[in-house]
Structure formats: structure tokens, C-alpha cells
Amino acid sequence: MKSHVKALVVGGGAIGTSIAYHLARAGWDDVMLLERDELTSGSTWHAAGLLPLFNMSYATTHIHKYSVEFYKSLEAETGLNAGFSIVGNLRMAQTDARMDEYMLYASTAETAEVPYEWMTPAQIKDRWPLVRTEDLKGAIYHPTDGYINPADVTMAMAKGARQRGVLIERKWQVDGYEWTGSDWRVTV
């Protein structure tokens, strides 16, 4: 554990490891991540790992798009399989109001060039025969959505970060940090 660093990342969940990895990839050479317990021991451990490209926010859609491309490349870079599967995502609607909401999603998706398809209840049944479709108005289907194992992708990002020179230390709780004028002084 170093007491002074150029960049300090506190917490070894999906976000912290991603920040550490991307700082290193951007060329930062003195990055340290401190985790008070084990990597992935926070909320990342409990996440379902769904990767819906589709949402109401233009900015978030772009972040999701980047993430999906990044996860595909991470295994090649680190040799760790993060359980990334693109299986598609079917959002069904029982009301016209819900279909209206999906139309709003669709306009965001079009701007961000995220593919989607409209489906009738009969087409839903064709795709997933176990669904009861009598009370459905329709669905929007996102072929590029999927899921990933949150703990595994965190470990892969941690490995990628280490490969790029990031120092990752566990069992250190950060109690404070202070800018000295040239680096961060860390208190544990």
C-alpha cells in the first residue's frame, strides 16, 4: 500500500475497478485502488447483471453501448470469461400507455442507433411459447441486450487494470485523503 498516489480509487466494486482500468488505459501511471474487504464484496456481488441497452436516457444508452463493446474485448485482453451472453430482451405491454412508453424508448434508441423490433402478441408467442399473451398489447424486443456475471466482469477489469500497472490492495479501509499539491496523501 502506497501512502501517496496520483490517483486513488476507493472501493473495488464494478465502478471502482472500471475507473481504475480506464484511468490506466488513458495513460495514468500512478493509480491505486483500495478495497476495505474483498473485490466485489459490495452491491456488485448482489447484482443480477442485466445489460439493457434500452432506456430513456440518451447519455446512459451511450454508456451502455460502450460497455457492451468493452465487455466483448475484455476477455481477449485478460483471458477471463465474464459470462457475457447476448440473449435479447422482450419488454411486454398490457396497456396502451405502456406501449406509448416503449415508443419513447424507441425514439431514444433510434438516435443512439440501438436496434429494436415491434412485436404483436402472436409474434411474442412464436418467440417464447410459454408466455400467456391473451392480455398483451404487444412488445418491444431488443436483440442486442443480454447479461453478464457482475463479479466476474469486476475481476476481469481488476486483472486488466493490474496488467496496465494499477496497484490494487484489499483489506485497507480508506479513512481520508488529502491533495498535497502534487499527489494524494491517503489515510487508512
Ligand X SMILES: Cc1cc2nc3c(=O)[nH]c(=O)nc-3n(C[C@H](O)[C@H](O)[C@H](O)COP(=O)(O)OP(=O)(O)OC[C@H]3O[C@@H](n4cnc5c(N)ncnc54)[C@H](O)[C@@H]3O)c2cc1C
Q: Summarize as ranges the residues that interact with ligand X (CB under 6 A).
A: 10-16, 34-37, 41-44, 46-50, 173-174
Closer residue to ligand X in complex, CB, 60/108: 60
Q: Which residues pair with 146 in a beta bridge?
A: 51, 86
- Shortest distance, CB of residue 122 to ligand X, whole angstroms? 29
Which residue, chain included where needed, has cell 415508443?
103
Residue 181 phi, psi dihedral angles, 5° rounding? 115, -25
Closer residue to ligand X in complex, CB, 32/136: 32
Closer residue to ligand X in complex, CB, 80/174: 174
Closer residue to ligand X in complex, CB, 41/149: 41
Helices (H), 3-57: 14-25
- Shortest distance, CB of residue 117 to ligand X, whole angstroms? 22
E strand segments, 28-179: 31-35, 50-51, 85-86, 89-93, 117-119, 138-142, 146-147, 167-170, 176-179
- Shortest distance, CB of residue 134 to ligand X, whole angstroms? 29
- Shortest distance, CB of residue 43 to ligand X, whole angstroms? 4
- Shortest distance, CB of residue 36 to ligand X, whole angstroms? 4
Residue 118 phi, psi dihedral angles, 5° rounding? -85, 145
Judged by phi (left if over 0) then psi (alpha if -120 to 50, else beta), residue 11 lies in: left
Closer residue to ligand X in complex, CB, 136/157: 157
